């Protein structure tokens, strides 16, 4: 019977990374993350603040998401993956000074969504909403087409 691996806590992950990089707690400490605070985080006596998470991630050269969740994928990465899966395998992201332009192909059609003022995450959320709405409309259109055909058959049989 294989031993179950216990999930690593945020504090344990920080400690492991610190040790892998050969840093002491004092060396990792910085303005905003004192040695004592870091010690309590690593021992599980204190929850880490978002600010401290970002500072520690920068110094440990990892994403804050990695410290927090143990994975390098950000929520934006996950949204992009979800949007990509809902297309025909073609998704273009154009970042401009004004915002984001998303273009994708679905069922042979090309769609574009301009999101001035949005960041990538906001634009991906809007694109997923639009992709979902198109899927619902396609399903509704298919039901309407089937119902129309049924009514026409009934009419022809009545004549």
* pLDDT of res. 82: 82
**Residues 48, 60 contacting (CB under 8 angstroms):** no
Inform me whether the pLDDT recorded for 33 exceeds 80: yes
User: What is d(CA 107, CA 7) in angstroms, rounded to the nearest whole number?
Assistant: 41
In the block, residue with structure tokens 């332009």: 101
With pLDDT > 90 as the criterion, what percentage of the chain qualifies?
42
Contacts of 26 (CB under 8 A, 6+ apart): 35
Domain ranges of the chain: 10-69, 75-158
Task: Please provide the CATH number assigned to the domain covering 10-69.
Answer: 1.10.260.40
- Strand pairing category for 99-106 and 91-95: antiparallel
Compute the C-alpha angle 68/119/90, nearest 5°.
95
Confidence of residue 64 (pLDDT cuts 50, 70, 90): confident
| Selection from 112, 104, 111 nearest residue 83 by Cα | 104
- Which comes out higher in pLDDT, residue 44 or 132? 44
Give pTM, 2 decimals.
0.49
| Selection from 152, 129, 148 nearest residue 140 by Cα | 148
**Residues 113, 94 contacting (CB under 8 angstroms):** no
Kindly report, residue by residue over 92-136, the tens digit of the pLDDT: 888 888 888 988 888 788 889 898 988 888 888 888 888 888 888
- Which comes out higher in pLDDT, residue 85 or 14? 14
Edge-to-edge, what's the strand order for the sheet holding 109-116?
91-95, 99-106, 109-116
Range from 25-39, 65-79, 93-107, 144-158 carrying the lowest mean pLDDT = 65-79
DSSP string for 76-98: HHHHHHHHHHTTTS-EEEEE-SS
Tell me how far the alpha carbon of residue 20 is from its chain's centroid: 28
Inform me whether the pLDDT recorded for 3 exceeds 70: no
């Amino acid at each position: 019977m294989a031993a179950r691996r216990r999930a690593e806590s945020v504090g344990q992950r920080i400690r492991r990374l610190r040790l892998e990089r050969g840093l002491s707690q004092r060396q990792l400490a910085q303005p905003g993350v004192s040695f004592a605070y870091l010690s309590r985080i690593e021992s599980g006596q204190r929850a880490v603040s978002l600010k401290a998470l970002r500072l520690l991630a920068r110094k440990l050269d990892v994403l804050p998401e990695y410290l927090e969740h143990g994975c390098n994928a950000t929520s934006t990465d996950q949204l992009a993956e979800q949007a990509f899966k809902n297309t025909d395998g073609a998704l273009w992201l154009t970042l401009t000074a004004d915002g984001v332009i998303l273009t994708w192909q679905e069922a042979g059609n090309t769609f574009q969504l301009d999101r001035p003022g949005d960041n990538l995450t906001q634009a991906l959320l809007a694109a997923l909403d639009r992709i979902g709405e198109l899927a619902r409309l396609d399903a509704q259109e298919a039901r309407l087409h089937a119902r129309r055909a049924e009514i026409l058959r009934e009419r022809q049989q009545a004549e």
